[in-house]
Structure 1
Amino acid sequence: MLDKTCASLEEAVAGVQDGATVLIGGFGASGVPTELLCALLDQGARELTIVNNNAGNGPIGLSQLVEAGRVRKMICSFARSSNKLQPNAVAFAEAYRKGTVELECVPQGTMAERMRAAGSGLGPFFTPTSYGTALAEGKQTMVIDGKGYVMEWPLKGDFAFIKAQFADRWGNLTYRYAGRNFAPVMAMAADVTVAQVDRIVPLGDIPAEHVITPGIFVKRVVQVGGAEHV
């Protein structure tokens, strides 16, 4: 019987190796798999490359990984926290100034498309975004019909940590509002996708037309809070 559910967060994050690239869902405070990030902190993996919309939103989760020195490189669109008054909220900025973490700044649409390309088995692609700016330095560029383009490469993850609202034991996922954000393309682009969900429901409870991420892209599902498994 196919069953991708994990009994604990510890089981869900098992196997994340030192040096892994981890794609982390979330947009601001929406759809962030905070409990998975805390479990990863306890798990102990180091020298991580993190792909996320920002570099830590608030004191819990990603900021803790940065402060603990576990992140080697951050690939993100927004490298500053939206809440500087909370402890740890500026962990990335401090680590970056000290030179203990690298930064690759990527426009949001380009980041999403790089992951989509990886998940679709595509090669590099050209985009006009960032042409003529510092973000294009060192990259191949081309002018087509008078318009400048920058070549970008697919962005693949060893793991993806995402948050969804409902899942079944096969790993089919549905999201709540903006909690969807980058999660669908991250699930496609990772070797192992781990979904933290509010509730695991019986097979068939999620209408087929409501399945946003099919279970074929999900390896592990763990329920965090909410109702008991049914």
Structure 2
Amino acid sequence: MTTRVVDTVDAAIADIGSGATLAVGGFGLCGIPDRLIAALADAGPDNLEVFSNNCGVDDHGLGILLSLGRIRRVTASYVGENKEFARQYLAGELEVELTPQGTLAERLRAGGTGVPAFYTPAGVGTPVADGGMPWRYSADGSVAVMSPPKETRTFGHRRYVLEEAITADFALVHARIGDTAGNLVFDKTAMNFNPLAAMAGRITIAQVEELVEPGAIAPSDVHLPGVFVQRLVHTGPQDKRIEKMTTSTPGGAGR
């Protein structure tokens, strides 16, 4: 499938239906595909399963879909900063699989490269490997679904746990620059999970701040090659949101 430039975010996500699985880039609110998420919220699909480092905040990013009750299951490594996420999880309205951050990154990368599973020492000797983590609660507070134990194996006198790769129906990512062939450049730390999520999607949709012609990006500057990207939409500069603001009194604390 070749890369296709679409005119609007609504057109870019038009075929994402209820029950779809989504790999979503971003870290906190840095580098999130905010315009694509907002369009998805307006479009109305529900029962979504999301793979992402986190789930935004209550009123921005994936938190919008969460507050609308559109997300059924989340696989993530960090779920703080979102009170609605905690409420839904503890009330039994949301299924949550927590996984170490590096493991999540590698599961996405493995899915994009065709590696079905891999062994890692992360999580060995904990409920990550042994099972028993509550994935979903019942309304009465009891555990309805627990994580199963995973296969472990010893290599060179050290135990490792087998983790399966992640692939998703769609991936939603944000890039600073993209060319019409789908090659992407990310802005500093906004790269974070975006290339990995893009690799894991069967159909990857990128919102880009700047759209250029092929050849405008030097090959050595490409962070993600266009082979992983199926759709591009030019959204212009991203709205910069601060996840948590900390201020100090004039002169600094303690003076």
TM-score, scaled to structure 2: 0.82
Give me the whole-angstrom Cα distance separating, in 2, the residues matched to 1:130 and 1:171.
36
Which secondary structure does the structure 2 equivalent of 1:96 belong to? helix
Give me the whole-angstrom Cα distance separating, in 2, the residues matched to 1:3 and 1:107.
32
Q: Which residue of 2 aligns with 1:106?
A: 99
Instruction: Letter of the 1:40 partner, please give it.
Output: L
Per-residue deviation, 1:134: 1.0
In the alignment, structure 1 residue 22 sits paired with structure 2 residue 22: yes
Q: Which residue of 2 aligns with 1:84?
A: none
Q: Which residue of 1 aligns with 2:122?
A: 129
Inter-CA distance 167–27: structure 2 relative to 1 (3 Å threshold):
same
Which secondary structure does the structure 2 equivalent of 1:5 belong to? strand
In the alignment, structure 1 residue 154 sits paired with structure 2 residue 165: yes
For structure 2, the residue ranges without an aligned partner over 5 or more in a row are 132-148, 238-255
Per-residue deviation, 1:143: 2.1
Query: CA-atom RMSD, angstroms?
Result: 1.5
Q: Which residue of 2 aligns with 1:185?
A: 196
Instruction: Letter of the 1:219 partner, please give it.
Output: Q
Aligned residues: 219
Per-residue deviation, 1:144: 2.1
- The structure with the largest alpha-carbon Rg is 2
Per-residue deviation, 1:58: 4.9
Give me the whole-angstrom Cα distance separating, in 1, the residues matched to 2:224 and 2:33.
16
Which secondary structure does the structure 2 equivalent of 1:118 belong to? helix
| Aligned pairs (5 A) from 1:139-218 | 139-218=150-229
Q: Which residue of 1 aligns with 2:111?
A: 118
Instruction: Letter of the 2:99 partner, please give it.
Output: V
**Are the counterparts in 1 of residues 25 and 198 from structure 2 also a CA contact under 8 Å?**
no
Percent identical residues: 39
Per-residue deviation, 1:3: 6.0
Q: Which residue of 2 aligns with 1:71?
A: 71
Give me the whole-angstrom Cα distance separating, in 2, the residues matched to 1:223 and 1:165.
10
Q: Which residue of 2 aligns with 1:43?
A: 43
TM-score, scaled to structure 1: 0.91
Inter-CA distance 3–126: structure 2 relative to 1 (3 Å threshold):
closer
